[in-house]
A and B are shown apart, each in its own frame.
Chain A
Amino acid sequence: MKLSKAQYDEIAQFLGHVQPTRQSLRKLKEKFPSQSQSTLLSIFSQEYQKQIKRTHAKHHTAEAVETYYQRYLNGVMKNAAAPVLLELANEVDFAPSLMARIVLERFLQEREQAIPSKTLINSMLRDPSQIPDGVLANQVYQCTVNDCCYGPLVDCIKHAIGHEHEVLLREMLLEKNLSFIAEDQLRAKGYDKTPDFILEVPVAVEGHIIHWIESKASFGDESSHQAYLQDQFWSYWNRVQESAFPGQISCIKGDTVYGTGVTRVFLCGYQKVIHSL
């Protein structure tokens, strides 16, 4: 399924400054009924991440943290059952999971009189039952569950998608009778950085020679392509040359966005990413 650049832009524009809640996602689905939920979610998530990256710093100043914490304390004092943290996050345009993290960190710091370790924070976010304050535990859980762009649950979903598509891709390669070396084999051979698959015998797709395939569990927009190129593809390229990069859901070339799920990617369009960007 291909997605035109115009459509993509429309979606992206609609997203503008929405909050990462299921309500927003629901609205998005209503607005673009022709797109699959996963495509929309992926675009949403990426657009939102861009936005967060821009504003991340300002939410982490000492003053901001203090303000948020005080507001949280006041809020729960009034009504512990109210979604204090979530509303606070929405109000200041910040991801609820990240807001939960800030407040939790601040809370622990006050309680333990020391800066808590990252692992502890992460583990508490994953399982709020460990948070020693019942009210905060509820608040944090509410935030992480409601956040559709950040947080342990979303991370897990993304991971799961990545895994599933790798399996699918493998299936397809087998089906097409293409000999490949998979990541674990590559690792065993001592490759330091590996794509998902290296084709033992390169194939030509749309006039491009494909040496390797990397499946990404995210929407392949321009900026994420760039980012991936930075940290991964060039290092693959140094090792195995050209590649195919089926953005798991889609990827952009020129003004066309290919909404190719991996399932169809192999049939209808590997992108020679290195050259398309």
Chain B
Amino acid sequence: MAAVLELLLREEVAVGAVLRWLRQGPGHRPAEENHIHDKLVSLSLLQKDFVPFLLNFLREQTSQILTNGPSTPAKTPNSKAHGSQRTGSERRAGHATSSRVQLFSQRTSVTSCTTDTSFSPAAASSGSSSFSGSNLSSPCSDFPSMASSSSPSFGYSPVLNHSERRSSQKASLGSFLTATPEALPVRRGRRKGGSAVSASGRQVPRDMGRSLAEEEDGKNDSPSWSGGRRKRSEVPLVSARSPPSQLNLNNLEEFPPMGAASGWTNKSKPSRRINPTPVSAERPLSKPKTCFTSTPVSQSPTARFSSGSSLEAFSTVQEGNLTSAISSSLQEEREMLKKERCKLLHQASSPAGISLDPGTPTKPSYTRSASLPAESHLVTCADPAKISCKKQLECLAQLYSSCIAENLVPNIFLELFFVLQLLTSKGTSTAEEEEESDLEVNEGSKNASGRQHFRSVHNCVYFAVQVLDYQYEIISHLEKGTLKFLAENERIASFSPTLHERLKQAYESSTAKVSLLLPCSVQSVSFQPETDNRSNFPSDRAFHIFKKQRDIFYELLREWEDNHEKTGWDFERVLGNKIRAMMAHLSATCNHSHFARLFQKQLIQMCKGPVGGGASWGDTPDQDVLNMLGPDNLSRLKRLQERFVVPQSIRGPCPPPSFPGCQQFFRDFILSAGSYQFNQHLVDSLCLKILELDGLTLVEHEHSDGEADMDEQDEKKRFTVVLLSLRLLAKFLGFLVFLPYRTVEQPTRDLQDSAVALRNQTLPVLDVLKLLRRSIRDHRSILTVPWIVEFLSLADHIAPFLDYYRKVFCLLLQVYRLMVLSEDKEMSFLNKLLILAVLGWLFQVPSVPEELFFATDVRQEGVMVDTVTSAQALDSVPLVDQQLLYTCCPYLGELRKLLASFVAGSGAKNGGFIRKITPTAAESLAPKASVTQRKLQVELEQAFFHNQPPSLRRTVEFVAERVGSNCVKHIKATLVAELVQRAEVMLQDKVKEEDANHDKLLEEVCAHLYEEGAQALIKGREFCKKKGPEAVRVLLPEETSAAVLSSAEDIAVELATEKACGWLSANIAALIKREVKATFNRMLKVPGLPLPSEEALELRRDCPPGCQHRAPFPSQIINEIKDVLCVAVGPRDEDEVIDHDWLESLLGRLSQTLRCRKFMCPTSEQQLAKCTVELASLLVSDRVPLSAGIKPPEKSSERLRVKNNPTYGLLKLLLSVWKEDFGMPVPVQLMFSRKNIGYLSEVKQREWDLFLFMLHGLVEHDLMRTSEIESCLRSLGELPWPSDFLKELEMLSRVFTSEHHREEPRTNPRELTRQSLGTVTAQS
């Protein structure tokens, strides 16, 4: 491992080469053409361990600098037990063990009890994999390693020593160590003990860690070093909570008594400038039963379901309640708040839990969230000029980023969190000095990877900014708040102005406003009338008992609701017996299935809202108050509230699974009931519902009409609801399924083996593997993966080792690896991001063994991904937005909190970004009365529907939905269409003026129309008001009473209006713009805007009055003319002639066809025109072999011959058709084309009189002007003709000119022709 990094840092191997080498590793496609660097070839066995090593290396290197920040919770294989809690320095220590001390790596893996039989030999033999085994280890493993510290000489062999001893040692050591009885007390102590205990508990290890760290830094080879490290890191979980190594024990502020701590915290937040006011001071203890009140803010973390045992978590809830004293005075309230916070913070760092909380006072200079002006001078200003080992940092950043980009790290957000920690790291001036000296020391060392590249803030920030730059795409998809902090981060601005610029743009264009404390609809306890039906029960008795059970259930619920926040209220003590009594009744009548259904429905109803890890509605102070504020103010208030509460508790991006809010009740109910039958029925019910929801078709394949936008919105909403419901159900299913196997501690190896052997025989309750496979095949993983993750997150310690779940994990891992983030057709970016986030979280859940991620051969389970994406593939539909992403993964908000706390910390210094919050009086909010009224109105409506048959509600909702939708369509078809038409006219005018800036033009016109677009709301309201009642009236039964009818109508209208106007107000501008743009584009595309002259020419005529449309089809006529042309042009048979009369009749039919416009299209007409001109040319040059009925007498006089020549008649016909019947200009000038005149020139005895006749005819029929003909003739004269022909042409031209200038007005044209021809012949 180190060798590889060494090569890289010494620049002997390029980053690209390392990446190629990595990709070649197991689980990745074999390198086909990729050439692996020679120096890396020999290290090929180590590929899979490299990423953990790298992560480790980074953590270790940065541990110094990050002492102030919250540790990056990482369950990387390098980290030890509950890696998620380990601080940087511990991780570093862990790394040291893994990479340098063979013994410990062995032992840790032993104690972890996780070594599974199928562990691949390569993994087992390499340092870090065996190390990764240790990650799994739960608290129990801590102790043994403590013991190990007493024998530091035990092991420690070079990294690459693949020891074979370990296998023999594993079992015995493991069983011995876990058996150590002391393990339990310590653990309990931590749990039960308040912060004081934990605080004192961590002093020792910290101290040790610190001294050792100071001693050993840079001297990697000392065995005692690793031993010490080991010891420290393996101290019971308390250490997990401990801040990194550089802690000053003597600092009172770092280890203050509780009260002091809170006082200090309060003091230390001058930049917040908010005096907490008792928002909920007047909150009555008993609430209307319709309102499920929220737990206090601090409650949910307490309620966090720790991985150990539910009952233990249970007890913490009670503990938490102890502190939540009822306060009457403001002072008391404040005091309480402080305590709450303090408690919260400590709990946040509880075992299962996470990072060092910033609020926990550590060393003042390092306290992240505390922005004491006094300490601000200690914050080192990161300076780009002071970066050392720039090249290496760049190398590392690139390598690290590539690992993130290719999903080689177990949790990308964890890494981003780490990077942000580096970005916001705060060195002190003293630290800096140390650094420098250290650096000097390190310079001496030849070991490049051993050098401290991250000893200075400058380097850390530089590295972080580099990585952020690489990860820009992910970052730019984060919610707006996070982007804002990043965009305003002065360090980014000074280290990379380009990234700063991009972030600023991303922030400005981002619309992803997310509130972690979502307003969610808290619904009243609703009875489910459909489960009441007597026919569902075997007997009257069962029916009645069930009715009673339901009443009891709701009674319990109400009691919990009202009281669970009270001090000393204990779920089990108060409700336990009632619940069990109820269960007994149920068993007596076998009503379990009914109750399970009710339970499940109630669960969905109460918890389907976006409840996430601790940031649910349950945390809000008072839902009633919030509801009264209306949605706008509500979200503002919630954001404000977030700033009060949330940012202080940085829990790290990987909290353990929890049951926040109302979910608590349901979990506790199950635990207290302890009924096997009930659980079984509930499992069945949950499975059924999950299968139903998972199989739903959520996206219609295609939208055929204009309401696509609205449907899309609805689809998204529906998807969100289904996804959240599925996750909720799956979580409870997982809870129930794994409940019997839940253990507090990681079981010993022996126990595990036997348990695995036993449980491998059982079938899974729900075939998640099949569902997962199917979802991948059907491209529906965006729906399925998140809930499977929830299900698995509650797995017990053994489950992941079962054959079945191993396959599931492998498959998930493959999904994770394959889901490389990029915008593609297969899957939208945010969909992928959600899947990556939940999977990354799952890989960090305590009960999931870490070696899974790095040691599992991904290829085991082939992912059959169809390349053909059907239209219905959910994955390809952009269903996830930031709101849903953050709802499902509230821990992503940690990134923002981290940045926020940095700003808070550095604010005093840079004078910058902290915005003052000016408290506004409640009066200035929205008219309160009306809001209250509105809420009441909603409740009234609910009540109204409650008492009516469900069909009424369905009808009203249906009507509202349809009318709303129709309304939008109507507006689109009328108002918008009208506006677009007007826009078209405006654009047409302007485009002609200046064809310069189309975009600007478009903007202008649209801006003009937006105002008018506002009318849409008025019109929409009118529409709904008119149509809604009609529809309701028709759809409801005739017998419906007038009052009910009118209420239903009103509600339908209201809902429809809300839907339509909501959509319109949000989208009308965009809609107008889109439509106008489309029209505009079409306008521009049409080749050449219709010019006025063309328009005049192409007047579309109508059929003559009384037209029977019986004329021959144009196609027929063209065909026939074509035949004539064929014969004329030849080749033809000797005797082939065209019947004159037939030709005459053809021209007659041509005339008819042209008159009837019905079947005529421009192309046909054009072709007819062209063909007839050709025909005329051929006629003029006597090329058409006419079989005249009467052959013109050979020897008659010329005058007679002309009279009798049938061609004249045909030409005359043609001329009149051209003039009278064509609706378009006939290209008569084609007669003068070289080709057509050529026909004339080829004739032996030229008949100029026909041509001349034609010329006169053209003039006569106004088809050509004299001057035009003259110029045509002139240009003809310039062509290379035979000389005799040229002469004739000239003469003809002269004759034509002279005649037309002389004779005006003309006399008989035929006479003229005669005369002129006479002259022509005479002259020639």
Contact = CB atoms under 8 A, between A and B. Distances in A.
Interface of A: 22, 37, 81, 83, 86-87, 127-129, 131, 134, 137-138, 141-142, 145-146, 153, 156-161, 163-164, 167-168, 189-190, 238-240
Contact of B1238 (A86, A138, A160): A138
Nearest to A168: B1159
A145 B706 CA distance: 48
Given A142-B1129, A160-B1113, A164-B1114, A153 B1234 contact: no
B1122 A134 contact: no
Interface of B: 702, 704-706, 1078, 1113-1115, 1118-1119, 1122-1123, 1125-1126, 1129-1131, 1158-1159, 1161, 1163-1164, 1167, 1170-1171, 1230, 1233-1236, 1238, 1242
Contacts of B1170: 127
A239 B702 contact: yes
Contacts of B1118: 153, 156-157, 160
B1126 A145 contact: yes
A127 B1167 CA distance: 11
B1164 A156 contact: yes
A156 B1242 CA distance: 30
B1130 A157 contact: no
B1129 A141 contact: yes
A168 B1115 CA distance: 14
A159 B1238 CA distance: 31
Contacts of B1126: 22, 145-146
B820 to A, nearest CB: 30
B1146 to A, nearest CB: 15
Contacts of A190: 1078
Contacts of A127: 1170, 1230
A86 B1118 CA distance: 21
Given A145-B1129, A153-B1118, A157-B1119, A163 B1164 contact: yes
A129 B1230 contact: yes
B1235 A129 contact: yes
Contacts of A128: 1235
A145 B1113 CA distance: 20
Contacts of B702: 238-239
B1235 A141 contact: yes
Contacts of B1235: 128-129, 131, 134, 137-138, 141
Contacts of A240: 704
A160 B1159 CA distance: 8
18 contacts: A22-B1123, A37-B1119, A83-B1131, A129-B1230, A129-B1233, A134-B1238, A142-B1131, A145-B1126, A156-B1167, A157-B1118, A157-B1122, A160-B1114, A160-B1161, A161-B1113, A164-B1113, A164-B1115, A164-B1159, A190-B1078
Given A160-B1118, A163-B1161, 9 more contacts: A83-B1131, A87-B1131, A127-B1230, A142-B1130, A145-B1122, A145-B1129, A156-B1118, A159-B1161, A164-B1114
Contacts of A145: 1122, 1125-1126, 1129
A167 B1260 CA distance: 37
A137 B1234 contact: yes
Nearest to B1177: A129
A133 B1113 CA distance: 35
B1115 A160 contact: yes
Contact of A86 (B706, B1125, B1131, B1236): B1131
A267 to B, nearest CB: 19
Contacts of A161: 1113, 1115
B1115 A157 contact: yes
Contacts of A163: 1159, 1161, 1163-1164
A93 to B, nearest CB: 18
A108 B1230 CA distance: 22
A250 to B, nearest CB: 17
Contacts of B705: 189
Nearest to B705: A189
A52 B1178 CA distance: 31
A138 B1241 CA distance: 13
A123 to B, nearest CB: 13
Query: Closest 3 A-B residue pairs measured CB to CB?
Result: A129-B1233, A160-B1115, A160-B1164
A156 B1159 contact: no
Given A134-B1235, A138-B1238, A161-B1113, A156 B1129 contact: no
Contacts of B1125: 145
B1234 A159 contact: no
Contacts of A153: 1118, 1122, 1167, 1171
A131 B1235 CA distance: 9
B1108 to A, nearest CB: 13
Contacts of B1236: 129
B545 to A, nearest CB: 53
Contacts of B1129: 138, 141-142, 145-146
Nearest to B1239: A138
Contacts of B1113: 160-161, 164
A117 to B, nearest CB: 17
B938 to A, nearest CB: 38
A218 B1256 CA distance: 43
* Centre residue among A127, A128, A163 by max chain B CB count within 10 A: A163
B354 to A, nearest CB: 50
Nearest to B1118: A157
Nearest to B1237: A134
B1174 to A, nearest CB: 8
Nearest to B1121: A153
A128 B1123 CA distance: 18
A161 B1130 CA distance: 26
Nearest to A137: B1235
A96 to B, nearest CB: 11
Nearest to A82: B1131
A240 B1130 CA distance: 49
Contacts of B706: 189
Contact of A83 (B1123, B1130, B1234): B1130
Contact of B1159 (A37, A141, A167): A167
* Centre residue among A22, A129, A163 by max chain B CB count within 10 A: A129
Nearest to A131: B1235
A157 B1119 CA distance: 7
A163 B1165 CA distance: 12
B1164 A159 contact: yes
A158 B705 CA distance: 33
Contacts of A167: 1158-1159
Contacts of A131: 1235
B715 to A, nearest CB: 19
Nearest to A142: B1129
A35 to B, nearest CB: 15
Nearest to B1161: A163
A240 to B, nearest CB: 8
A159 B1233 contact: no
B1242 A81 contact: yes
A153 B1114 CA distance: 13
* Centre residue among A22, A86, A160 by max chain B CB count within 10 A: A160
A164 to B, nearest CB: 4
B1161 A129 contact: no
B807 to A, nearest CB: 37
